[in-house]
Structure 1
């Protein structure tokens, strides 16, 4: 009997010590307990709330394509499918320029079953964006996010109408930002994602985990290179600027100097005696352009635009493009080893194909 009593007391003492130790661990290291239920960094099990916020504003575009193949030599009723995004309650719809290029008419179909013909407000082939206008009441509009705060690894959802099968949502992450040098447009600053972007998704929405628009999907790169798992979207910050210009002017007004440039490598900069170690070299100066009138020549090296260092040619292009025509800009650089400074008056960038 004494042995049994001793064993019971021992077990009770062990249990008490164990509970006390567990209390200390929970008190001092609460993350260890929480990680068992909800691992650190784990996302939600569903993104249906984000989809319900964004999806109603993503529309299907059906176009009649111009064709000279028929006996009437006019319009052929060929459907060209793509996507678009309703940006506000006034009926402005953003899409890709290549989706509507060459079409005779455009019908916009909403997820609630309504449809409307669309007028083209303006296009911007330089960014592959186009703005449409529809006339319907009580329109859903997509909430706008910010593309400049996106981080690699952020969850994103691509919403569109691929392969004529109906609205589809795919999920992925931001694989990269500020992607350029893809040869798709002069003003490349793409968001790269592994969310599936297929034929028909062009012009659709790339949204964050809250359902806010962060980009407009484009399938160009994936189709051209027949690549798997790589999609690109035009950042919403760029989209907003283009949309504002198209509403105000019917076109995008950009600054222009009339030069072709290349980025200098560090070795080239050193060989040219550039103390800064960076710069862009002019490979062509268009006759009669602002750069030509300012006295710039091929092989000139530009290191600063006003007081902004010029490290890569894409940044220089975007910097000048943001300037209003008529703006006077100071260019600093080197010519044959000698530093120079010139002043040029920015002109309006010619439209593509307009010289």
Structure 2
């Protein structure tokens, strides 16, 4: 065979060789999780709970939830035998048992275990199953529903433990790995990357969640999230789902937050957090324009609690908090995370924008109340109506209404006609306290300010609905 005839075969051989080199290079670039799993798995545990409910309550009560699992699966994992009472007991005293499954991990060799609050909530009995399949009854040390963290204690010595990492050092795009018991399958391993950091979820104000695309399913809750050094950087806590299963959005509690909570629970049995006493909201593009800001940033103060730390420190409704102790507030959700980490009595310097000017306020942080303070009921109707170009009829607040809502001024919406007010969602019973950055003291003031509103520019309005305040924006195009 002549050399020219070999050329096509040599080219093909070279292409195959090059492809093999590319495949090998890609294989070498992928992480190897085997050593990490071998070292970390012994400290990961399965947690099962038992809760007893009277028959008469079972029909009306929601069973311990497996994170939105469809009913067919939920029934599969729950055992609910009837527990008859004494021969003389009425039928209503009979009991049923419900069981739930979750995960956890051992943080000290003498038996302290971290998991989620919702895994063990309302449990009458908690059982921890170790990697060698031995089962131990656990004592509940303490829980913190606000962060969804719980601390358990099992009896043991020289137990395997996890290594704790630093969640602040996590980077978006970094490989992470979860070990847990999804659907009861112990020590299942899934991997992915960090999708985002500092996520705030509804009703979870005090947790800057780590978002990942690690496959997390019912039963994974409470289990550890590892970095590539084999260190725990989070507690797998929640999933976003429309089907009851994994959809690529998983959320973990940063281990720094969890350990701060755990240490307080072990020491004091409860968790203390800093508190400013304000209601805040996000600053969007329109609000930024209406308040004279260069770009959307900060936390807009929509409400200030009477005699709260913020009120005593001079914070006012309409202030936009840009930083606290030098740490920037890019999103409004950043503020609760920072304040919550402070202890009662700590001095906090707040940089705010007020009427277009920067100010620095010093506030003494208070202690977060056990229950969120009520801000008053919805006011009742009163006084006379006043129509205006917004298509809304308003009335002066009565003295009792002002006292109930802790207001010095404001107007009550009596009726909504067709117009801008209806388009932005105002409702009868709402209270308007500010319009176009001006405090409203009466129906006449409201009408006067409304008549002078600019056209084709974002205008802000502060509205109180059922005791909760927020700023909204709109534009007049006529």
Relative distance call for 1:354 and 1:338 in structure 2 (3 A) is closer
Q: Secondary structure at the match of 1:38?
A: helix
Q: Secondary structure at the match of 1:319?
A: helix
Q: Greater shift after overlay, 218-227 or 195-204?
A: 218-227
Indicate the RMSD between aligned Cα atoms, in angstroms.
3.2
1:42 aligns to 2:26 (yes or no): no
User: Which residue of 2 is the match for residue 129 of structure 1?
Assistant: 149
**Aligned-pair CA distance for 1:66:** 4.1
Contact 2:216–2:239 (8 Å) recurs in 1: no
Relative distance call for 1:102 and 1:36 in structure 2 (3 A) is closer
Structure 1 unaligned regions, length at least 5: 1-6, 11-30
Q: Secondary structure at the match of 1:312?
A: coil
Contact 1:67–1:73 (8 Å) recurs in 2: no
Q: Greater shift after overlay, 290-299 or 107-116?
A: 290-299
User: Which residue of 2 is the match for residue 221 of structure 1?
Assistant: 240
Distance 1:114 1:299 in 2: 58
Relative distance call for 1:77 and 1:315 in structure 2 (3 A) is same
Contact 1:263–1:311 (8 Å) recurs in 2: no
Q: Secondary structure at the match of 1:99?
A: helix
Q: Greater shift after overlay, 192-201 or 332-341?
A: 332-341
User: Which residue of 2 is the match for residue 20 of structure 1?
Assistant: none
> Which runs of structure 2 are paired with 1:87-166 in the superposition (5 Å)?
87-164=107-184, 166=185
Q: Greater shift after overlay, 105-114 or 218-227?
A: 218-227
Q: Secondary structure at the match of 2:168?
A: coil
User: Which residue of 2 is the match for residue 258 of structure 1?
Assistant: 277
Distance 2:243 2:347 in 1: 40
Task: State the TM-score, normalized to the length of structure 2.
Answer: 0.61
Listed one character per residue, the Cα deviations across residues 132-165 of structure 1 (whole Å, up to 9, x for unaligned) are 111112211012223233333333222111222x
- The count of corresponding residues between Structure 1 and Structure 2 is 329
1:318 aligns to 2:364 (yes or no): no
Q: Secondary structure at the match of 2:215?
A: coil
1:241 aligns to 2:273 (yes or no): no
User: Which residue of 2 is the match for residue 181 of structure 1?
Assistant: 200
2:99 pairs with 61, 75, 79, which one? 79
Q: Greater shift after overlay, 290-299 or 192-201?
A: 290-299
Relative distance call for 1:221 and 1:251 in structure 2 (3 A) is farther
Relative distance call for 1:151 and 1:344 in structure 2 (3 A) is closer
Listed one character per residue, the Cα deviations across residues 182-209 of structure 1 (whole Å, up to 9, x for unaligned) are 3151123222222221111110122233
User: Which residue of 2 is the match for residue 309 of structure 1?
Assistant: 328
Relative distance call for 1:48 and 1:265 in structure 2 (3 A) is same
**Aligned-pair CA distance for 1:213:** 1.5
Contact 2:112–2:152 (8 Å) recurs in 1: yes
Contact 2:218–2:245 (8 Å) recurs in 1: no
Q: Secondary structure at the match of 2:164?
A: coil
Relative distance call for 1:69 and 1:36 in structure 2 (3 A) is closer
Contact 1:62–1:81 (8 Å) recurs in 2: yes
Distance 1:155 1:307 in 2: 31
1:52 aligns to 2:38 (yes or no): yes
**Aligned-pair CA distance for 1:69:** 2.7
Contact 1:217–1:233 (8 Å) recurs in 2: yes
Distance 1:351 1:221 in 2: 28
User: Which residue of 2 is the match for residue 22 of structure 1?
Assistant: none
Distance 2:361 2:24 in 1: 65
1:294 pairs with 313, 319, 325, which one? 313
Structure 2 unaligned regions, length at least 5: 4-17, 57-90, 375-478
Distance 2:369 2:30 in 1: 47
Q: Secondary structure at the match of 1:186?
A: strand
Relative distance call for 1:139 and 1:222 in structure 2 (3 A) is farther
**Aligned-pair CA distance for 1:214:** 2.0
Relative distance call for 1:287 and 1:74 in structure 2 (3 A) is farther
Relative distance call for 1:319 and 1:110 in structure 2 (3 A) is same
**Aligned-pair CA distance for 1:350:** 1.9
**Aligned-pair CA distance for 1:312:** 1.9
**Aligned-pair CA distance for 1:72:** 6.6
1:281 pairs with 300, 315, 332, which one? 300
Task: State the TM-score, normalized to the length of structure 1.
Answer: 0.81
1:62 aligns to 2:48 (yes or no): yes
Distance 1:326 1:224 in 2: 46
Q: Greater shift after overlay, 210-219 or 95-104?
A: 210-219
Relative distance call for 1:335 and 1:241 in structure 2 (3 A) is same
